Structure 1
């Protein structure tokens, strides 16, 4: 039940009340991130015998040395037997990479997220990552923090607009604490979750992020998340290489999204059993991949360090890059739970370092640092996959602690974002929603137009004019029409087009009522079909004469209804009231 007055009034209506809730959510997100990382650590120890198996790829499980590497085949399957039924029974939305669900909840559900999602997501993702799932932990911590913010917002009876902000506070706090990145958290929440900026929302998100970071640092330390070599630009010519890197690695980020959903579709087509069993059976296939390429086990942060430090040859770096795309896609496709943020960084690090090593071989006199290109490649792949360049720059700066990367990083990320927009409609996050028929990217264009079609709000056809209607009769009918446009049918009732008040007025110039019939003035009008989204319908209405148009069936032909500006406004008002 909502908190009683007067505290409830203060929390719901005052800016200071929102800040107090943001502070509280930051505390919860900070401790949630600590608990989540502990869960991953314990799951890793249980299933692999190592805190992070990627640091010692190919090693045997110390509890079962006789199995050698073959335990890798069983670990994901055993974990799947546990988290598969857990997710299916209590929180199906905890399956997958998490961020799209939070984006949808904020944009279309007023910030409402089931409270049990926090616990189920934490357990499922920890088991998945700890047993070898090749996914990241940022997606889960975003969903965990967001569910916490939603739960407390609903408990205190916040209006929907503030509830959304509190969800973003939880997401920002989770990112900030788990990556020791108090700047990245707010920008991630504003650019990807809220997709808008207001001073009040930004202040609340920053407060939650700082609070969560302080708690995270107190427990987990204050070291940079990645230990990478020092970086500096040796020549202005290198900026051309950084731009080329942005093109290539930005395209690889888009490719990652394509592979992810292709593999997921393939898994959907092949699997015919119960969903709760899918992670276990699919885990055997994932385990076989890990047996061939054990570097794909878990998040893989130790591989980052070794790659950018020059520990791998070009060919193996490219193998790791492709392997990560496949391993992450397979983990998600079989029903695993984890994020795609860290895998996109991994892909960029491998591809960027390979690019830097190749450039070094071709331009030996420039003193290039391949690891620096791996570092910038991380941000470029993230920008290509998500189109969030601001977040990418901030995240990489905080993860590495190196200010010298800012200019090259900004160039590469902007180029990667432009490449992504050119070759792909959606991002790795929004594509998941697009496949369900939800287009969040057009939301800023449609304002509060709901995700519906013209057929769902169309009205009955107004009075039809026959082709033999006289000008006097037509002008009187149009004078009483609210839309200044009416449909015209022939003697057999077949649709011939529309006639507008403007057209009739022009015909009447100089004559009171000329001889002839109105059918001569009927003309085709822009087509609206019953299956057309309201955003597209609005664009057609804006270009048409009058304020209404006939709605044709899915295949065209005869009108099945009528739509007007007024109907669209009413649908927007209804949506705003429900939010």
Structure 2
């Protein structure tokens, strides 16, 4: 069956249904699938965690273990330089002969599937991505499992949407459910996971997506409670956020975090550009990056691995300033070289670690300069952790909520908000694309990361319709109408179709330019009336409908204009809506956003000036 035939059949079905009723009816099966995806993603996330733990223990300690080890005290010695390179080589081979979609940190690839592939992710990505991540992190990669599990969970949701008969929009929701459930299962942060899916994958806030997302993340978190415990991934003690006296310092921290986010994003893609210039097959790039990582790990072993324990230590204020600065330098180098080489790994954990170290360093430096400030390094580490990654990813709201879910301390809200929004503002000014969307932009894909209500759903037909459209009487001959149009009558040439009404403005039909041309070629225009040549099987818009509903009717019936009637008198013509009237709704939006109205101060001054001028004339 051709796509045109499928589209026509779908249009015929839709024409007999109310779209809102259809969406509500489909919400139940989609929510049931979201529940399945949420439970499955919880087990998938736990399985990936175990796989990373097993590979890390086998490679670095030659033992069997189900807990991710601390790689600082590994016994490999100089072999430490080779191990990450071997892991990178394996990942490069998997990318070359498996799928290149395993490269990178996962979230941009999930976004790309939504944007260009109708939310379809190949099954091999769901299989090879977690394996490649386990190998990359298990051989010392400075990554976390969050980005990859977001991609893997999204791939699982997409596969369910491909197995079951779904629309592309429903498949997008299922993909987002899998991605959000994966994040919730790793971090025990269901609320932040829902918002992440909305900000980075869905770009909408509708019941059709919000309800399944909540179901999926709730069940994934419940599975996590059973398998990995109820506590957050990062263990921190009580923190003094210093409210309200520390607020100015949090604002300054937002500036530092925003600049850090910009610097890290630009450095990552600069290093990617350098790898692309190498005269070698890209299969070898992860191995070269792994070799650089090994050298860094030999100098500073704490730069290796996921670093969850190090993040907990920073948030608990256990490091001196010197150690925090070393973490910033070496973890940043390890992340940029490894991820820039095109290996497989998550961006969230290392960016959290770097951001936390930046915040802790900031507080320690301020305390040295202003001893009376008494800033808590742990509090500033938490704020900077959220602000830095939130600004880099343009998902600020997500990571404000994420950091709050980690502490579950209401006192953290004000510092998180002020630091994060200032950092986000800095990134908006200095970066055209986020760290997530820069890669997609280089492939020619434009991602609109801001979502807002559709103006077509806010404006009614009555607000934009032409209330005095030109009409023709039913007994008019085609020849006469053709002469009137040919004479250049502006009122007739403005519209591509003319409503046919009687003396009492009862709507009898509509005639289009196409109808006129067909009738002239097939009939005698001197004998044929416009009612005979036009269409009497009418599709109408109602005054109280939204423009969105009117446009939906146009699309379903493949027509470019609609006569407008009222519900109280459905046979009386009250207006006309076509493409020009639809664009008028958009014009309203542009007017609201860009045309400034004079304020009352300016009006007051203007009136006073007029009064003075009048007195001067007298």
Q: Identify whether the pair has TM-score above 0.5, normalized to the shorter chain.
A: yes
Match in the other structure for 1:23: 35
Match of 1:32 in 2: 44
Aligned partner of 1:41 in structure 2 is: 53
Residue 60 of structure 1, CA deviation: 3.4
Secondary structure at 2:448 match in 1: helix
How many Å apart are 1:476 and its aligned residue?
8.6
Equivalent in 205, 210, 221 of residue 218 of structure 2: 210
Matched, 1:376 2:388: no
Q: 1:12 to 1:150 in 2, by over 3 A?
A: farther
Distance (Å, rounded) in 2 between the aligned partners of 1:76 and 1:113: 28
Q: Does the aligned pair in 2 maintain the 1:76–1:132 contact within 8 Å? A: yes
Q: Is this contact kept in 1: 2:233–2:308, CA < 8 A?
A: no
Equivalent pair of 2:355/2:388 in contact (CA under 8 Å): yes
Measure the CA separation in 2 of the matches of 1:233 and 1:312. 18
Q: Structure 1 segments of 4 or more deviating over 4 A?
A: 10-13, 50-54, 442-447, 475-479, 481-484
Alpha carbons of structure 1 residues 277 and 367: separation in structure 2 relative to 1, 3 Å? closer
Does the CA-based 8 Å contact 2:200-2:449 persist in structure 1? no
Say if 2:401 is the partner of 1:394. Answer: yes
1:429 to 416, 436, 441: 436
Shift of 1:371: 1.3
Q: Among 216, 223, 235, which residue is 2:231 paired with?
A: 223
Match of 1:127 in 2: 135
Cα deviation 1:85-132 (Å, max 9, x = unaligned) = 222222211111110111121133221111111110000011101111
The aligned residue for residue 83 of structure 1 is 91
Per mean C-alpha deviation after superposition, the further-off stretch among 46-55 and 162-171 is: 46-55
Q: Mapping of 1:525-544 within 5 angstroms?
A: none
Q: Is the 8 A contact 1:229 1:372 kept in 2?
A: no
Number of aligned positions between the proteins: 445
Are 2:74 and 1:60 aligned?
yes
Give the CA deviation at 1:245: 0.5
1:476 to 1:116, Cα distance in 2 relative to 1, 3 A: same
C-alpha separation in 1, matches of 2:69 and 2:252:
30
Q: Distance in 2 between matches of 1:344 and 1:231?
A: 21
Distance 1:179 1:330 in 2: 26
Change (3 A) 1:233 1:400: closer
Q: Distance in 2 between matches of 1:158 and 1:255?
A: 42
Summarize deviations over 1:355-406 as a string: whole Å, max 9, x none.
1111222232343211111111111111221121211111112233333211
Structure number with larger C-alpha Rg: 2
Higher mean alpha-carbon deviation, 169-178 vs 251-260, is at 251-260
Check if 1:254 corresponds to 2:262. yes
Of 208, 226, 249, the residue aligned with 1:200 is: 208
Deviates more, 1:305-314 or 1:225-234: 305-314
CA RMSD for the aligned pairs? 2.9
Q: Give me the whole-angstrom Cα distance separating, in 1, the residues matched to 2:164 and 2:24.
A: 7
Q: Which residue of 2 aligns with 1:160?
A: 168
Q: What do the CA deviations read for 1:314-361 (whole angstroms, capped 9, x no partner)?
A: 233123113222211111122210121112211110000001111222
- Given that residues 252 and 384 in structure 1 are in contact (C-alpha distance below 8 angstroms), is that contact kept between their aligned partners in structure 2? no
| Residue 521 (structure 1) aligns with | none
Measured after TM superposition, the shift of residue 234 of structure 1 is 3.2
Structure 1 residue 150 corresponds to structure 2 residue 158: yes
Which residue number corresponds to residue 138 of structure 1?
146
Give the Cα separation in 2 of the matches to 1:266 and 1:12: 50
- In the other structure, the counterpart of 1:510 is none
| Preserved CA contact (<8 Å) 1:259 1:325 | no
1:282 aligns to 2:289 (yes or no): yes
In structure 2, C-alpha distance between the alignment counterparts of 1:178 and 1:317, rounded to whole Å:
25
Could you tell me how far apart the structure 2 residues matched to 1:314 and 1:185 are?
32
Structure-1 residue corresponding to 2:418: 411
> Is this contact kept in 2: 1:268–1:333, CA < 8 A?
no
Compute the displacement of 1:434 (Å): 1.0
8 A contact 1:146–1:169 mirrored in 2: yes
TM-score using structure 2 length: 0.67
- Tell me what 1:544 maps to: none
Give the Cα–Cα distance (whole angstroms) in 1 for the partners of residues 208 and 453 of structure 2.
Answer: 24
Partner residue in 2 for 1:451: none
| Runs of at least 5 residues in structure 1 that lack an aligned partner in the other structure | 1-9, 62-66, 448-474, 485-564, 570-579
* 8 Å CA contact 1:168, 1:189 repeated in 2: yes
Q: Does 1:263 align with 2:241?
A: no
